[in-house]
Amino acid sequence: MLVDLVIDALIGPMSESARREIKKTLEKAAIKAFCAPPIKSGRKGIVVKYDEEIGVLAMTNKTAVTTLAAQMDSSINGLGQKAISETISKNSTSFEDLTPKKKK
């Protein structure tokens, strides 16, 4: 596409629309070649950094919740204790969803 426009421009008089099309195509190519790679690599660094931090927080909170469940006072009896225990055991696996998966 760009080659055809340049050949047309070299062979004959260049129209204004051809000039605009060449300029637009060159600007897109420059953005893809020079601007996009640093932005994309910066994004990857941010994702990796925060994936690690979220994973550490998730493991810390999972440990804290497990410890809390183990240390619950035996004086909490009846439905309240049962509800707390069920909620902790039901939601304790949600911390594992936050830990980053190791890439193979």
The pLDDT confidence band at residue 94, using thresholds 50, 70 and 90, is confident
Residue 69 · residue 88 · CB < 8 Å: yes
d(C-alpha 42, C-alpha 59), whole Å: 26
The pLDDT confidence band at residue 47, using thresholds 50, 70 and 90, is confident
d(C-alpha 93, C-alpha 44), whole Å: 27
